[in-house]
Structure 1
């Protein structure tokens, strides 16, 4: 039986939990996160955007949690491709906002986590594909 690798399963669970935590922060304490980035929380626009981002993070977390035991397949690859794309675009956006001065260097830890997660999934799924090809 072809099942998900332990590395993929672990990475999916950890990432889902991280995204659930991010959703809770965006929903209940967005000012804390934004203050880290040097962005003033006005309660209006930034509050609205933060609260609307929270369900997106929950949705990504749910997709990863449900895919954690899935064997390599086109469907799982699609979930991973979406996740990698999301992480790398968030990182690029964070760097861009930092470069133009919209946020402070407090965004850089988030950028590093986003790049690390994106690359980790890319390598784990790539390694599974390579192992499958060798069989």
Structure 2
């Protein structure tokens, strides 16, 4: 299935906004899903995580209509790298018994988003660029 950059960026922004709200106000919900015990230290990290998700969501929402460019490529490359690193870390935490099977939902989402953005990047490289 092929997506446009606008569609994928909008979906990513909405997902990041939802995660910002959950991490900011109900982090125990995601931690419960991952079979990780909530603590005040986890709450501190979760609220800081919420701010990062909010920032990423704003970036993708604001850039959703941007044409292929060096800036869009840099933003996408950073996000793809983050997605794949998070997926590997999550899978490793599950294998090591530090998180329950619920974390595999996050792993699958991160891997799918990373692959989708790679597909967008690959398809945008094939399209002829408009000259100014």
State how far apart, in whole Å, the 2-side matches of 1:40 and 1:52 are: 18
Q: In structure 1, what is the equivalent of residue 37 of structure 2?
A: 40
What is the aligned residue count? 127
Deviations 1:43-90 (A, max 9, x none): x11101101100111111111111111110000101101111111111
| Length-normalised TM-score, structure 1 | 0.91
Structure holding more helix per residue: 1
Matched position secondary structure for 1:91: helix
Q: Deviations over 1:73-115 (max 9, x none)?
A: 0001011011111111111110111111100111001100100
Task: Work out the CA distance in 2 between the residues paired with 1:106 and 1:50.
Answer: 17
12, 21, 25: which one pairs with 1:15?
A: 12
- Whether 2:109 is the aligned partner of 1:113: answer yes
Looking at structure 2, the residues matched to 121 and 102 of structure 1 have their Cα atoms a distance apart, in angstroms, of: 29
Tell me by how many angstroms 1:121 deviates.
0.6
Q: Distance in 2 between matches of 1:80 and 1:29?
A: 28
CA-based RMSD of the aligned residues comes to: 1.1
Q: Could you tell me the TM-score, scaled by structure 2's length?
A: 0.93
Please name the residue that 2:28 is paired with: 31
Moved over 2 A (4+): none
What is the CA–CA distance in structure 2 between the aligned matches of 1:27 and 1:95, rounded to whole Å?
A: 24
Q: Structure 1 residue 130: deviation in Å?
A: 1.1
Structure 1 equivalent of residue 91 of structure 2: 95
Distance 2:4 2:102 in 1: 30
Q: Cα offset for 1:131?
A: 1.9
